[in-house]
Structure 1
Amino acid sequence: MTGVSLGFSLEPLSVPLDSLLPSRKTPEGLFTSRKFKQIRSSIEEIGLIEPLSVTPVIRDSGQHMLLDGHIRLIALRNLSFSDAPCLVATDDEGYTYNTRINRLSTIQEHLMIRRAVERGVSPDRLAKALNMDVSQIVKRMNLLDGICPEAAEMLKDRQFSTEISRMLRKMKPTRQVECVELMVAANTVTTAYAEAMLVATPAELLLEGKKTLKLAGVTQEQLAKMEREMASLQGQYKMVEQTYGQDVLNLVLARGYLLKLLENKAASQYIQKWQADVLAEFESIVRTVALDH
């Protein structure tokens, strides 16, 4: 078995900033964007954490083409740095490495902030490094306080507002799980959705046992209807969840059958002649390589 070659050097190389050639233009409004200010503040406070990614040196000019880290490079120049640590690519792929990496989830960010504070980094210093208000650091530190483990597990790979945690804390654990299941199933992990579900939560499923939150412009009749529809939606979700595995198995078997059918030249020609639209649908199903979960 042959080994897998690395796509870049193991050790960073210190490269003068003047020897780095950006591979794309600076976007308009970058210097006033929150992302740039956050990166600049982080570098100014604790230094560059992630090295830049560059091509091997170009012989004619002695420079490196920058593959990834354009905003970091601009921030470094803005802070008057003279050089930067770089990982040198060992292949010819000129893509942005970070497009192949999932961004930090909200819970991962929470864990990193908690770990930093436990190791002695003050919330004030973290706030300065991340260009945030201290109150936002505190909210991220306490993100999972009062959230049941099952709900936290379902949210672990998601990015969401800390306001969602605040609303979930008002619910009992079973209701937290129900709400997160619905948000994830609808792929709508938003504050507005969480607020609507909090309003629609029966009093017996709230920690304080009474309802105090109201949505502007929503009458008691509309609220009662919302609660009934939410209960119905939860029932439908449970039914789909129970049959999902069997439905996927049936679809996989159907795809296999259609694949063999279309490989039969006589059958394929017959369907093409008499039911061309059906053949197009069959071919579309066969081309399906994977099913979204």
Structure 2
Amino acid sequence: MTQTGKMPPPKSPGFEANLRTIPIDAILPVKQLPVTVPKSQKYGQIAASIREVGLIEPPVVARAAGQDGSFILLDGHVRLHVLKEMGETTVTCLVATDDESFTYNKRISRLATIQEHKMILRAVERGVSEARIAAALNVNIALIRQKRTLLNGICPEAAELLKARHCPINSFRSLRKMKPLRQIQAAELMIAANNYTVPYVEAILAASDATDLVDPAAKKPPAGVTREQAERMKAEMANLQKNIKLIEGSLGPDHLRLVVAGRYVERLLQNDRLARYLDKNHGEILGEFRQIVAGLAQSVSSTEAGSNKGA
């Protein structure tokens, strides 16, 4: 329900119910691809994928106003360019019911490193060769093997923490040198700092006790770092880990109190007389209240989306 207590109008579907095969000549791009794009690695990967397994994600188009049989290309410029280069004359498209010319890819969550690893494993289990996967992605077969064995030596708890994160493959190389408990701590530090880069994970490794490593004898001081700097880094990492635990302990109760207070404010704003009074006499306060309600709705929506994604 809205703040005035009225039911919101029903939402119309964003796309037509069925995919449509459209002549490529009838599709009007909304932008010109730079001349450097066909030479890029990403273009090569898309072209290789289409050649090997066909078009997986259909381009998104909208009907051109006042031009019967013509369509505006909203998303899929590279895919359409590849198909033209391959000599294709038609393409199967998803037809949007509006003509907003933003890229729909901004609304898509990109495949995380561990998710990509699981997809490669699943493909291999179903009989797809590593060579064909490499050809479809236009990468070296050695990289496919690296991705296939990504979680070797990684404990399940650390893998679960990082499953939706975009971590470089080489970050997992440093994690493998740590024992399971330290891997979990490292994953928590990476998430808290929102930093999954190789240098950061190497810094965590350097700040780890020898007893936290799979092979303590193999520990070497990082190049260019003195013993005093290494000790300071170790102390800072331990302090950060402690702060994470403290925040985790208070996060649940604080969030509950925020939800209760936000719901109360939301109920107040559903009172038309009160909303009119605030609008007339205390517009700034009303604006703050509405921001609280909007922020709460967004927070709850994000939490529910995360729960559904985990399920």
Separation of aligned partners in 2, 1:8 and 1:27: 29
SS of residue paired to 1:88: strand
CA 1:119–1:229 in 2, change beyond 3 Å: closer, same or farther?
A: same
Q: Which runs of 5+ in 1 are unaligned?
A: 273-278
Which residue is equivalent to 1:162? 169
CA 1:258–1:202 in 2, change beyond 3 Å: closer, same or farther?
A: same
Would you say 1:92 and 2:98 are equivalent positions?
A: yes
More moved, 249-258 vs 94-103: 249-258
Which residue is equivalent to 1:60? 67
More moved, 23-32 vs 112-121: 23-32
CA contact (8 A) 1:39 1:72 kept: yes
Which residue is equivalent to 2:209? 202
Q: By how many angstroms is 1:218 displaced?
A: 0.3
CA contact (8 A) 1:204 1:210 kept: no
Matches of residues 1-293 of structure 1 in structure 2 within 5 Å?
5-56=12-63, 60=67, 62-89=69-96, 91-94=97-100, 95-251=102-258, 287-288=291-292, 289-290=295-296, 291=299
Separation of aligned partners in 2, 1:150 and 1:124: 31
What is the TM-score of this pair, normalised by structure 1? 0.84
Q: By how many angstroms is 1:13 displaced?
A: 2.1
CA 1:281–1:60 in 2, change beyond 3 Å: closer, same or farther?
A: closer
Q: By how many angstroms is 1:211 displaced?
A: 4.2
CA contact (8 A) 2:179 2:213 kept: yes
Q: Deviations over 1:216-242 (max 9, x none)?
A: 210122112211221122112111211
Letter in 2 for 1:52: P
The count of corresponding residues between Structure 1 and Structure 2 is 283
Q: CA RMSD in A?
A: 3.2
More moved, 152-161 vs 251-260: 251-260
SS of residue paired to 1:210: helix
Q: Which runs of 5+ in 2 are unaligned?
A: 1-6, 269-273, 304-311
CA contact (8 A) 1:164 1:191 kept: yes
What is the TM-score of this pair, normalised by structure 2? 0.79
Q: Deviations over 1:227-271 (max 9, x none)?
A: 1221122112111211222333455566678897x97979x97xx
Percent identity for Structure 1 against Structure 2: 43
Which residue is equivalent to 1:276? none
